[in-house]
Amino acid sequence: MASESSSRVFGFVGLGNMGIHMAFNLSSYAQAQQLPKTALCQQKQGAIYVDHSTLFPTTTETLQEEARQNGVHFLSCPVFGPPAVAKSAGLLIAVSGDSAVREVVKEYLVPALGKGVLDCGDKTSKGALLKILGNNCILGTIELLSESFALAEKTGFDANLFYKFIQQWFPAPAWVNYGKKIRDGAFSGKTGFTLPGGMKDASYIRRLGAETSTPTPIIDLAWNHLTTAKAIGGEGLDWSACSAGMRVTAGLSPFKGEDFTLKKDETASNGSTVANSA
């Protein structure tokens, strides 16, 4: 977006599960405010580039420096919330980068895209760090829920009653939403955050841990279960399919309801190929 208020123009790149809703909300807000129609901005002096993806902190620092060298601005503004929350403009948005342009962008982030902003300061790496720390908590929650529901099933405890306990005792969005997905085995990647994206974020957490000599045992377990879920056919699923990996290690069927495992004919074909090559 251009920083001059009289000729501010918006652009949005990346129309995935999240971006398509964010772009629509931004366009609707711009039209309501009678701003120029949404368009792809050209790189020009004073342009502000706002990144909502999850990047490693040092990557955002590199992009911020490159932007300065080219006379433009770069902000790291990762978001928290699933596609349904993006659609309702209810995201929580971390904002980091040069102070002057942070203030320019804040007035559009809320209410156009989100319900709240967390200002992380001038260094874009801080916004990226908050996103990774937040995802550490979310993925850790998924791992714990996966373990708990598997244990409930193995001991014969009613999964629905256990979910009611979660709703009443842990009424946070991550617990309630992912608890329902794991209870039902509903891992559609069309309405959630895909497993490969979750593995990328998990790798960032583990990398930060390695670089700072900080153990990340919960995420290490989650990584193994995500890898298992991917190997048995869950690559296109929501990252809560991590539960399938946990279920396998507990001796349970990986998926409930719809079977997302590799097709039998495909597995047989692969096995046949291996046998012939041997």
- Map out the domains of the chain as residue ranges: 10-122, 129-250
This prediction's pTM: 0.84
- HSE of 68, CA atoms in CB hemisphere, 13 A: 10
Q: What is the pLDDT of residue 250?
A: 96
- State yes or no: is 126 an active-site residue: no
The C-alpha atoms of residue 52 and residue 68 are separated, in whole angstroms, by 19
* Regions in the chain scoring below 50 on pLDDT: 1-6, 38-41, 264-278
Which tokens hold the place of 128?
């990226």
Superfamily name and number for 10-122? NAD(P)-binding Rossmann-like Domain (3.40.50.720)
Which tokens hold the place of 131?
């996103």
Which residues make beta-bridge pairs with 76? Answer: 51, 96
Which tokens hold the place of 132?
């990774």
Cβ atoms of residues 205 and 164 within 8 Å: no
CATH of the domain spanning 129-250, picked from 2.40.50.140, 3.30.470.20, 1.10.1040.10, 1.10.10.10: 1.10.1040.10
Q: What is the pLDDT of residue 120?
A: 97
The C-alpha atoms of residue 255 and residue 261 are separated, in whole angstroms, by 8
Q: What is the pLDDT of residue 151?
A: 98
> Per the residue annotation, which of 131, 181, 230, 256 is the catalytic one?
131
Q: Calculate the alpha carbon distances from 194 to 83, 179, 247 in Å.
A: 11, 17, 19
Q: What is the pLDDT of residue 11?
A: 67
Residue with token string 């659609």: 87
